[in-house]
Amino acid sequence: MNQFQYVRPTKNKAAIDTVAKEQTAMFIAGGTNLLDLMKRGIVVPEKLVDINKLPLRKIEKENGAVRIGALALNGEVAEDKLVMEKHPLLSQALNAGASAQLRNMATVGGNMLQRTRCPYFYDTALPCNKREPGTGCGALQGYNRMHAIFGHSDKCIAVHPSDMSVALVALDANVLVSGPKGDRKIPFSEFHRLPGDTPQIDTNLQKGELITAVEVPETAFTKNVNYLKIRDRASYAFALVSVAAALQIENNTIKDARLAMGGVAHKPWRLTDAEKALVGKPATEQTFRQAAEIAMRGAKAFEHNQYKLKLGPNTIVQALKNAAAAV
Amino acid sequence: MDRVDGRLKVTGAAKYSAEYELPNMAYGVLVGSTITKGRIKSIDTKAAERAPGVIAVLHYQNAPKVPGYIQAAHPTEPKPVGQPHRVFYDDKVYFNDQPIAIVVADTLERARYAARLVKAQYEEDKHATDFLKHQSKAILPTHAQRNPKHYLNDYVKGKEDAYKGEPLKVEGEYVIPTEFHNPIELQAIVAHWEADNRLTVYDKTQAVIGTQNAFAKEWNIPVENVKVIATFVGGAFGNGLHTWPHETAAIIAAKKVNRPVKVMLTREQMFTMVGYRPFAWQKMGMSATKDGKITAITHEAIGQTSSYEEFTESVLQQTRMMYTSPNITTRYRILPLDVSTPIWMRGPGEATGAFALESAMDEMAYVLKMDPLEFRIKNHTDRDPERNLPWSTKFLTEAMQMGAEKIGWKNRKLEPGTLRNGEWLVGYGMGVGTFGSHRNRASARAVLRADGTVLIQSATTDIGPGTGTAMVQIAADAMGMDPSKITFELGSSLFPPAPSQGGSATVASVGSAVQAACNSLKKKLATMASGNAESSFKGAKYEDLAFKDGQVSLSSAPNTKLSFTDILKQQRLPELEATEESKPDNPERNKYSMYSFSVHFAEVQVHPLTGQVRVTKMVSCADAGKIVNKKTAGNQMIGGAVGGIGMALTEGAVIDDRFGRYVTKDFADYHVPVHADSPNIEVAFVDKPDFIGNPLGTKGIGEIATIGVAPAIANAIFNATGKRIRELPITPDKLI
Ligand SMILES: Cc1cc2nc3c(=O)[nH]c(=O)nc-3n(C[C@H](O)[C@H](O)[C@H](O)COP(=O)(O)OP(=O)(O)OC[C@H]3O[C@@H](n4cnc5c(N)ncnc54)[C@H](O)[C@@H]3O)c2cc1C
Ligand code: SF4
């Protein structure tokens, strides 16, 4: 790890100003991702701005939405009464992530901004366009079992590893940020970006912008929901694929649906066409299968992740079945 | 009895190698090569040397020469064919992440930072790291080439490959990826030259005496000038069975900077700088008669080794003795690749072989439409068919019956995919394990002190099985004393010599020595008691005496008692000492074949859509001789079963062959099983003594705890789904 300066401001503005002005300054929250990256020399900030003293931890109801402070811990959000009542899908997704120890350190803001787990990205001896633009994508012709099937480019085929984000994109959340130029609100589906020719840029957040909260509008998706994560071991592993499914069912007819996938793209992957295909249909396995097929349109796999072309739709079907059966 | 060191471990009071802090200590961090094969053209250390806190940057050009390197063979025991890697010896690169330099600094963080600044230029050669691509280049191990009687040679009983001509047969290829021990404690050493020719190391090792000898030879100094301390070892599973380059690197660095130097590997370095279970390909062929008698078995195996050293292990031994078959063929080869050298990993060889053998047994039973348990019992060997000797003891059938009962084997359906729990498919499977029941020369010292406590010492180690606890119990039984009055010390080369902790032989070897030392102490007490003219014991023989509650009594008159401490007082002795060596010298041993046996039963559930596997229940039963301590022995079995779950379902390291570099080298990418993967694991022991092997009647447990678990789970998955997966680990993608 490189030497760095460390500051711990108590006002949002002080934190924002420092990171906006200083080229190599970075925010640190729980540190569960950033410290790993620093130890391996993948990022080398010369100043860390610890934001844990900022007043950004509250979870509250506001204007028909649940507003979750950026510093709320993954564990406390998952167990929060309001969240469990209004957004059980989010609670399930959070509990499917990492381990209890990590969830007790990791923050909501940090979770959204965690970097990919692509092994080439994590090893400075291997090529990676995301870590060092221009060196090539190690995974493209390499070991790509965990990699994307949607929205990849020939520059990068990495996936975004967050579970929480899959639920948030399904729930039409907004990201609230404060920056040197003021405050703005970013719809969750526009927060992360696809790799294109600039895989080194994960999100549309600008330098110096601080995430202050996410706002999750209240919906009727409070009962028939399921976050299903398929992984190599029962806990504490990243998703091979995951599915966030939410249904509103009346008289066995689907009134409304939300569907998103994790582990398949450079961003949490919302499946709007498949959602449309669900609405108005009976909540049966056949309907779910049709929606899953629509969801998989345009998917393209690589040498080691062909299985996602089958595991993906199967998991969608199963998550929808679980959601429909939820009581 | 509870673990004697349990409280120390859970409170953090137990001190591991990396926790030793010596005055003026410096920290070393290793720099690994980024190529796989070739030559170092130049190393640029300037930036690292200028970095804050850096004391030295050492590599092959400027490191002090290691005198032992010039010997024909490196002083590692047992002697491999070839040459263990000599760190900083020359400019050659044999494997990726080979240590090419060490940065020594005043703090760990500074050393780690500076290590990143070291840059090397290479001349790269073409490398070979893809096992399956190069499989055809496998060779017969040199040991076997040189000695036609060596057990690694091809073995043919009856007709070679006789299964091929049979009507009822199975044939299959099996692959086990490279697996890493990954104990929680990282490999670490503190090296301290106390004088020019006196070395002390606090080292993570399973062999304090082996390590002492190795470093004495390596540095050409008297053995007694090397002190090795390994009081606590946080798991090892075999990777502490010989010394590794980082240890020598630390000693080199300590010599050069003239300060104690601590080196602890990173988790990523645990994938390249210490050994591992080698990648293995196997092929099985088996035939049987309609009524279930095996007629032929052919078992072939190829294991990976490095380009500079031949690592071999016993993959095929069990196939020669496990089941009756008139025709048996085995062939073993090794495949040298541009990787670091493997080492034994729990259930070495046998666990690999059992995956193929026990899977094939299940496949054969299925072809015969026979219950696999019945099929095994039908082909049970009542004596060792390979050596044509009776077993010292074998209670495998008893273990099988116990296990079948506990798992509910009668619920198993012959036809796969027929049992369900809601959406989940349910299946049952079993696998058998065996491992030679070994015993080695070992010694121990017992000291009775004036306060009535006994201290016992032996230079063994405890890598987790509860050796200290078992030894206290053995001593308590032998002395007729309460265990709370007995302390057992281990993990120091200053103690009487003992072998490395490996091969499931510690209780048999060291336990026998502890018992012998205690017996010797008792005899001394008896002599003193009966030699005392005023004593009511006058003239009593050792055989006439009983030792209980810290007292000697006459067997014929139990009320005539004398406490151990009173004997010391009478003799005006501050303490009484006895040191004994014990070795496997019972001539009866040659008349028997000695093995431990285990059988594992698994109940699994598989989700047909998503391929998720849950092991819902496991039962492991063992014929491991007399059980000294049910708790620690049970822990061993549970730990072995969890290791087997990892082997079956989650573990496997991947090399990107283009670079020759591992791409799954941390706990996020290399999956050891977690609690949620492990069901309630029920353990049962036959618990019948085997006194041929040793006077305690024990047989080994550590290896058989894992051998046979992976095939039990793979077989259960077949029973649940009808899918036969012959390539481990069985991840969800293989089941959809
Ligand atoms: C072994 C392991 C397993 C894991 N498994 C999973 C898993 O299964 N599923 C999953 O979803 N996650 C998993 N994680 C990732 C974990 O969820 C993230 O590391 C965590 O959420 C990051 O949060 P943090 O607060 O620690 O972020 P930090 O590490 O502190 O920061 C991460 C990044 O976010 C930036 N940042 C943090 N807060 C803000 C803010 N408010 N505004 C602007 N920028 C900010 C930092 O500058 C940094 O770049 C795992 C992590 C580990 C180490
Ligand atoms: S997939 Fe992306 S992160 Fe992975 S190697 Fe390619 S560029 Fe790097």
C-alpha–C-alpha distance, residues A160 and A157, integer Å: 10
Coil/strand/helix, residue B323: strand
Which residues form ligand 2's pocket by a CB distance below 6 Å?
Answer: A 116, 118, 120-121, 128-130, 137-139, 156-158, 199
Yes or no: say if A147 and A157 are a contact pair by the CB < 8 Å rule: yes
Q: Classify the complex by whether its ipTM is higher than 0.90, answering yes or no.
A: yes
C-beta atoms of A235 and B612 within 8 A:
no
Q: Which of residues 193-252 of A touch B (CB under 8 A)?
A: 228, 230-238, 240
Contacting residues of B for A117, CB less than 8 Å apart = 668-669
B142-178+277-438+591-734 placed in CATH 3.30.70.3040:
no
Contacting residues of B for A145, CB less than 8 Å apart = 733
Give backbone dihedrals phi and psi of A315, rounded to 5 degrees, phi first. -70, -35
A102, B79, B611 from B304: Cα distances, Å: 37, 18, 30
C-beta atoms of B669 and A117 within 8 A:
yes
Dist. CA B693 → ligand 2 center (Å): 57
Domain ranges of chain B: 6-125+186-233+240-271, 142-178+277-438+591-734, 442-487+502-583
Q: What is the pLDDT of residues B490-499, one digit of tens each?
A: 999 999 999 9
Cα of B647 vs its chain's centroid, Å:
15
What is the predicted pLDDT for the residue at B444? 98
What is the predicted pLDDT for the residue at B604? 98
What the block records as the tokens of B534 is 């005023």
B295: nearest Cα among B265, B329, B318, B270: B329
What is the predicted pLDDT for the residue at B72? 47
B337: nearest Cα among B670, B101, B655: B655
Active site amino acids of B = 703
User: Which CATH number does the domain B442-487+502-583 belong to among 2.60.40.1170, 3.90.25.10, 3.30.365.10, 3.40.50.300?
Assistant: 3.30.365.10
Residue of chain B whose alpha carbon sits nearest to that of A36 = B666
pLDDT surpasses 50 at B721: yes
**Beta strand pairing call for B595-606 and B261-264:** unpaired
What is the predicted pLDDT for the residue at B77? 47
- Counting from 1 in the atom list of ligand 2, the atom nearest the Cα of A128 is 8
Dist. CA A31 → ligand 1 center (Å): 7
What is the predicted pLDDT for the residue at B504? 87
Cα of B315 vs its chain's centroid, Å:
15
Positions of chain A with pLDDT lower than 50, given as ranges: none
Name the closest ligand to CA A96: 1
Yes or no: say if A217 and B709 are a contact pair by the CB < 8 Å rule: no
Residues in chain A: 327
Q: Which among A2, A235, A236 has the least Cβ separation from residue B113?
A: A2
Q: Which among A142, A232, A235 has the least Cβ separation from residue B658?
A: A142
C-alpha–C-alpha distance, residues B438 and B509, integer Å: 8
Q: Which of A1, A4, A46, A230 to mutate to test the interface with B (most CBs of B within 10 A)?
A: A230
- Counting from 1 in the atom list of ligand 2, the atom nearest the Cα of A148 is 1
Contacting residues of A for B675, CB less than 8 Å apart = 235
The alpha carbon of residue B326 is apart from the nearest alpha carbon of chain A, in Å, by 42
C-beta atoms of A232 and B650 within 8 A:
yes
Q: Which of A120, A143, A289 to mutate to test the interface with B (most CBs of B within 10 A)?
A: A143
Q: What is the pLDDT of residues B433-466, one digit of tens each?
A: 999 999 999 999 999 999 999 999 999 999 999 9
Yes or no: say if B486 and B476 are a contact pair by the CB < 8 Å rule: yes
What is the predicted pLDDT for the residue at B535? 79
Which residues form ligand 1's pocket by a CB distance below 6 Å?
Answer: A 26-34, 51, 70, 74, 97-98, 102, 105-107, 109-111, 113-114, 161-164, 210-211, 238; B 668
Q: Which among A125, A141, A236 has the least Cβ separation from residue B661?
A: A125
The alpha carbon of residue B664 is apart from the nearest alpha carbon of chain A, in Å, by 7
Whole-number percent of chain B with pLDDT over 90: 95
The alpha carbon of residue A261 is apart from the nearest alpha carbon of chain B, in Å, by 14
What is the predicted pLDDT for the residue at B377? 98
What are the structural domains of chain A? Answer: 5-52 (3.30.43.10), 224-325 (3.30.390.50)
pTM (whole model) above 0.90: yes
Yes or no: say if B728 and A232 are a contact pair by the CB < 8 Å rule: no
Pick the residue with more confidence: B78 or B50?
B50
A270, A274, A278, A284 from A289: Cα distances, Å: 17, 10, 10, 9
C-beta atoms of B650 and A233 within 8 A:
yes
Q: Does A273 touch chain B (CB under 8 A)?
A: no
C-alpha–C-alpha distance, residues A124 and A41, integer Å: 7
C-alpha–C-alpha distance, residues B523 and B38, integer Å: 63
Fold match, B142-178+277-438+591-734 / B442-487+502-583: yes
The alpha carbon of residue B54 is apart from the nearest alpha carbon of chain A, in Å, by 14
At B80, the pLDDT band (50, 70, 90 cuts) reads: low
pLDDT surpasses 90 at B321: yes
A109: nearest Cα among A194, A231, A230, A12: A12
Q: Atom 11, ligand 1: which residue's CA is nearest?
A: A162
Dist. CA A142 → ligand 2 center (Å): 10
C-beta atoms of B671 and A234 within 8 A:
no
C-alpha–C-alpha distance, residues A99 and B112, integer Å: 27
Half-sphere exposure of B681 (CA within 13 A, CB side): 25
Contacting residues of B for A119, CB less than 8 Å apart = 663-665, 669
Q: What is the CATH number of domain B6-125+186-233+240-271?
A: 3.90.1170.50
Mean pLDDT of chain B: 96
- Counting from 1 in the atom list of ligand 1, the atom nearest the Cα of A36 is 53
Helices in B575-678 by DSSP H: which ranges? Answer: 630-645
**Looking at A290-294, B58-62, B510-514, B527-531, which range is the least confident one?**
B527-531
Bridge partners of residue B733, in order along the sequence: none
C-alpha–C-alpha distance, residues B518 and B472, integer Å: 11
Contacting residues of A for B652, CB less than 8 Å apart = none
Name the closest ligand to CA A111: 1
What the block records as the tokens of A59 is 């979870």
What is the predicted pLDDT for the residue at B105? 98
B552: nearest Cα among B568, B575, B533, B572: B568
Coil/strand/helix, residue B406: helix
What is the predicted pLDDT for the residue at A45? 97
Name the closest ligand to CA A118: 2
Residue A73's Cβ-count burial label (10 Å; 0-12, 13-18, 19+) is buried
Residue of chain A whose alpha carbon sits nearest to that of B733 = A307
Helices B709-721 & B350-367 angle (0-180, nearest 10): 30
CB contact set of B477 (below 8 Å; sequence gap of 6+) = none
Residue given tokens 């295909």 in the structure block: A277
**Cis status, amide bond into A45, omega within 30 of 0:** no
The alpha carbon of residue A240 is apart from the nearest alpha carbon of chain B, in Å, by 9
Q: What is the pLDDT of residues A94-141, one digit of tens each?
A: 999 999 999 999 999 999 999 999 999 999 999 999 999 999 999 999
C-beta atoms of B733 and A307 within 8 A:
yes
CB contact set of B690 (below 8 Å; sequence gap of 6+) = B392, B393, B437, B594, B625, B626, B697, B698, B699
What the block records as the tokens of B615 is 């092991």
